[in-house]
Every structure is written in structure tokens, then in C-alpha cells.
Amino acid sequence: MSVYLDHAATTPMFDVAIDAMNASLRKLGNPSSLHTEGRSTRKDVEDAREKIAQAIDCLSSEVIFTGSGTEADNAAIKGLFWHTDKKVIIVSSIEHHAVLDPAHWLVEHEGAELIEIPVNSSGTIDLDFLKKVLAERRSEIALISVMHSNNETGVIQPIAEVVQIAGDIPVHCDAVQSFTKVPLSFKELGLFAMTISGHKVGGPLGIGALILRRAVEIPALLHGGGQERDIRSGTLNAPSIVAFAAAVEAHLYDAKKVAALRDLFESGVVAARPDAVINGKGAQRLPGISNITFPGTQSDSLLLLMDSQKVSCSTGAACTAGVHRPSHVLMAMGLSDVLSQSSLRFSFGTTNTEADVAYALSVLPDVIERGLAANAVGRK
């Protein structure tokens, strides 16, 4: 038996998306060409744009296709910064590196100043801190970026309140994890920009979108043919766009089922290991993400041990050049360096079953014991 519990990293493509992609792959025509084939492909792209716009509650002209969520985040952070002469960028301390890294790049190369909003022990941002910063420095702030939900813990952030506090300051939101899993309206939130991605929602890898207010124009990262409002030049990836929209339109994600599986799993973990800590449990969370600390273990060892038992999960922390690093998200929530490296992320999707949960729980106790023993030997 093999159990996949890493849906937050990427989720299986829906059959309807695969079928849509295959059909598009067989069509000839660059969507920027004016001949019959080109116009036919362009119609497919624009139909897909409309479907995604309806799902996210925005205008179709506000959907800008990109090669990934990371590219959309970069375009938003850099573009909104370059759109003004103000120098202060505000982000939450738990952002994905697709937001944190371009922000740090702007500090190093463009003279930006970065302010990070702290979070409480449940992983929710400190709105009072944000209010204080804005009261003192509002006229200096170029943009604010706060994710809709955290990719490691699943904790949902108070984006509507952030936008209200921000007023006329542009707010960007990385909604990659939230899209199609919880109610999400670009229009109602009042955002300037939002990021979504195909492979988190049953679509293909390598396609994302930046949702950008129609009245907002930002400098381009990619220059060329002027596609996508002259913000993202390049031949449109019609097959992936069509498949992305097909997955969104199908909306096969069953939030109640996924939440029930997560809760069943967490109950089983705590019963088996009373010392285990579910990170972010006190906050509102996405249905499918469970981040659990197992004191006395090393998460990279646990991941490999789980993998040896044919259960796929994640450490939720960055690994660079083979060196395991503590999760900046968990450390921002107050966990120590050691505990931040003793946690695993299990993320559930619609394709998971109660049998998957039962199997994962059946192998977990032995994995934890072996992980504790290995860590004890390593400390000697």
C-alpha cells in the first residue's frame, strides 16, 4: 500500500484536466496568431480565463497567466514596489519564500526596507503590530503582502482586516493554498493583487496566475511580445491554461471530507503519541493541512522513515544544498530551533480515504520510536 499525504506540495491532476490538456495539445495554433488556428486557440485561452475569473470573483481582464505561483508572487512584489517611489515593504513573517525572497532581493538591490509582521503561537498575524506600523509610517509604505493561508500549518489569515487597515496601500495576497479549498473572493477582499496556482487545485504543474486590479499597471518582469497586459510577455501555454481552468470549473475538492480525514488523523496521532503537538490547532485552518511536532526527533529522519513505509509527507521546511534548516514558520510561532526541526506536515486531498489514514497511523508509532532512537544516538 502506498499513501500520498503531501497534497500541499502538489496534488494529482483531475481526469477532466488531463482530458482537457490532451485535447488542447492536439490543437495547432499560437494564441497570438491572427489566422484561424490561432484564433481558435485564443478562444480556448479566453474561455479558460473567464472560468478562472468567475471562480475567484474578479474580471477576466484581471487574470494574468504566469508560469507558476512563484512567478506571480515575484511579479506582484517587484511590480508593486517599482510602481511607486516609496521604499517600505511589509510582509508577514510566515510567508512562502516566493514572497520573502523577492522582498529580500529588493532590500539588497533596490534600497527597500522590509518589515515583517509577527504571528502569535497559533500562527495568526498580529494586527495590532500592523496598525502601529501604519500609524507611524503609512506615507512610506509601498505595499503589504500577507498570505491567505500558510502552506506549512494551514492557518488562515485575516486578509479582510489587513485590507481594511491598509486603506489605499496596495495589498497582495498569496492564495495558492486556499484557492478552491475555502471561500475566496478577490472582489470582496478588496485586494490589489492575488496569486493562485494550477497544480494545487487538480491542474497541471507549471501554470499560475496573478490576479491584478484592472486599473493597476505594474512594470513587467518579462519583456517581449506584450502578452498579458504587457506584464508577462511570452507565448501563452494554452494546454496548461485550459487544463487549469478545467480543474477549477470541475471543483472536485470536498472540503468536508478532507477536514474529516485530517481530524481523524490528528486524533489518532495524539492518542498514539500524547506528547505530539498539532501546530496552529487553535486557529482557523485549511481543511487538509496538519503540521505536527514530535519532540525528540529529527523531521528529515522521520520523513525518510515514513517514506520507507510508503507514506509520503513533508518536513515543511526549506532544504538547501542538502542542509536541513528549521522552519521559519514554526520559529515565528515561538517554537525553538530544535522543535522546529522535529515536525512533519501531512496534507490531505480529495483522493485520500479513511484507509489511507488508518495505514499512516498504523506505521507512525514505529517510525516515531525509530526516529527517537536515531536522534538519541546522534546526540551521543
* 136: CB partners within 8 A, 6+ apart: none
C-alpha cell of 184? 475566496
Grid cell 490531505 in the structure block, residue: 348
* 210: CB partners within 8 A, 6+ apart: 64, 66, 72, 75, 76, 193, 194, 195, 231, 232
Q: Which of 58, 173, 313, 319 is catalytic?
A: 319
Stated as kind and residue range, the H or E segment containing 66 is strand 63-66
Buried b or exposed e, range 108-146, using 16+ CB within 10 angstroms: eeeebeebbbebeebbbbeeeebeebbeeeeeebbbbbb
Is-contact 309 367, C-beta < 8 A?
yes
Torsion on CA atoms 98, 335, 166, 78, rounded to nearest 10 = -20
* Catalytic residue check, 319: yes
- CA Rg, the chain, in Å? 21
Handedness of CA 265, 266, 272, 276 (dihedral sign): positive
DSSP 61: G
DSSP 217: -
**Positions marked active-site:** 319
